[in-house]
Amino acid sequence: MVRVLGLQIRVLDASIIREIDVAFANLLHERPDVLFVGADAGHMPDGLIARLWAGLLATSPLEALAVFSGLVYVVLAVPRSRWCWVAGGLSSLIYVWLSARARLPMQSLLQVWYVGVAVYGFLRWSREAATGVSLLSWRGHVAGIAGSLLLAAAIARFLAAETQADWPHLDASTTVLSLFASWLTARAKLESWLYWIVVDTVLAWLYAAQGLVFTAFLFVVYLVIAAAGFIEWSKTYRRQTAV
């Protein structure tokens, strides 16, 4: 999965990416030292570089644009630039079509939600008074987490019964929490970055455990940006409350 709007979305070039990921996972199982073949001190393992490069080569131009736009969104969200929502909306709009083409109707509908959040976020952040960082009440956290977990439990049950998902509960929980976090981001809530840190950490581990090294690496990047976003928004919130 790749995140956009500070959200997560499926990587849909699955026919190619999945083959690469499965092959690499099998190779790691048989040769765990492959990551360090040709590596020397002070250099990134050549095997990992080759894996990441293979993932890049397998990405279609349209998907690459979606991923790039998603990265631009996250970077611009840190300084609270309203243009982040344009980049995020473009990425999600592309994934609406990619999801439909890949015969993933629920993912396509999910991207429609993300496009709606992008429109809402852009309009809200365009009002200067609405761009200040604020905190969510404890009741908001309780309601959001409880609602997310209940919805995730229902989705996980469906995934376990109707699909061959390896991690239905983690997959459903991170997806639903991402929806909640995206709404908090649009409302410029400081804690939105904390939710993203949790989601990105879990997903980085999940994809690494599945052998999806390229995707796991992307989520590590998102994790670092989320941490930077929390620090920057915390500084802004302290300046606001000090006035």
Per the model's pLDDT, the better-predicted residue between 59 and 146 turns out to be 146
Residues β-bridged to residue 189: 134
* Range 55-94 burial, b when 16+ CB lie within 10 A, else e: beebbeeebeebbebbbbbbebbbebebebbbbbbbbbbb
Residue 149 within any structural domain of the chain: yes
Residue 6 within any structural domain of the chain: no
Its domain, for residue 90, covers 14-129+136-242
- Which of 59-63, 64-68, 100-104 ranks highest by mean pLDDT? 64-68
Residue 221 has phi, psi (to 5 degrees) of: -60, -45
**229, 77 contact by CB (below 8 A):** yes
* Tens-digit pLDDT profile for residues 159-213: 788 877 778 888 888 888 989 999 999 999 999 999 999 999 998 888 788 776 7
Report residue 193 as tokens: 């970055």
Residue 235 within any structural domain of the chain: yes
pLDDT at 50: 65
**145, 191 contact by CB (below 8 A):** no
**96, 113 contact by CB (below 8 A):** no
Rounded Cα gap, residues 160 and 17, in angstroms: 23
**118, 185 contact by CB (below 8 A):** no
Residue 5 within any structural domain of the chain: no
- 192 closest CA partner among 160, 234, 151, 158: 234
Residue 169 within any structural domain of the chain: yes
**CA 122 centroid distance within chain:** 19
pLDDT at 105: 60
* Tens-digit pLDDT profile for residues 103-120: 666 667 778 888 999 999
The predicted model scores a pTM of: 0.73
Please compute, for residue 213, the number of CA atoms within 13 A of its CA located in the half-sphere on the CB side. 23
Query: Does the structure show a pLDDT above 60 at 11?
Result: no
Rounded Cα gap, residues 219 and 138, in angstroms: 28
CA angle 85, 88, 90 (to 5 degrees): 105
Residue 118 within any structural domain of the chain: yes
The tally of domains found in the chain comes to: 1
pLDDT at 54: 65
Residues β-bridged to residue 2: 9
Long-range pairs of 109-116 with CB within 8 A, sequence gap ≥ 24: 110/9, 110/175, 111/9, 113/179, 114/4, 114/5, 114/7, 114/9, 114/88, 114/89, 114/182, 115/89
pLDDT at 148: 92
Residue 8 within any structural domain of the chain: no
